[in-house]
Amino acid sequence: MGSIFSIAILSAGASVLAAVAADNFLSQRIGVMGSFAGLQYSLNPGVAFGISFAPLLQLSLIAIALLAVVWMAYRSVRSAGSQSYKLQAISYGLILGGGIANIIDRLPDGLVTDFFQVGTFPIFNVADSFITIGVVLLFWEVMRRKKPL
């Protein structure tokens, strides 16, 4: 579990630093690929894809989700083989780090700083990217372990 928490701390730190940088330096949109992709400052009161709930319910759902990921990481990594362990540790570390970073970002004002804009997809941040990458890696690991019929 040590490597999971190391990865979580590193990814949370990088995510929080990126959000602080966006808060302090991103005052207008910066096009990276014209109007298709760029850096655009946005404050998000909701959870995934801007979906919002009542504040207490939203905080409860976030806490439950984070605890569920910790529990799944503990159970999964404990029973994983050495090859699977590395990928699962990275995956869970990224998910936990991203979740923790979004909670830290939300603490002062209830808002999460988002700043990556791609097409019509909702604006997102580094923490969201880490969470997504972690989920995709876990899914890939599950599919890789499945034996053909």
Domain ranges of the chain: 2-145
Q: Does the annotation count 128 as an active-site position? A: yes
Which of 23, 105, 109, 114 is labelled catalytic? 114
Q: Which of 28-37, 54-63, 129-138 has the lowest mean pLDDT?
A: 54-63
User: DSSP states of 35-64 as a string?
Assistant: BTEEEEEEEE-SSGGG----HHHHHHHHHH
pLDDT at residue 149 tops 50: no
Name the 3-class secondary structure at 118: strand
Distance CA 68, CA 73 (A): 8
Taking only the tens place, the pLDDT of each residue in 43-64 is: 999 887 778 888 889 888 988 9
Which of 23, 105, 109, 128 is labelled catalytic? 128
- The answer to whether 4 touches 138, Cβ cutoff 8 Å, is no
Q: Does the annotation count 109 as an active-site position? A: no
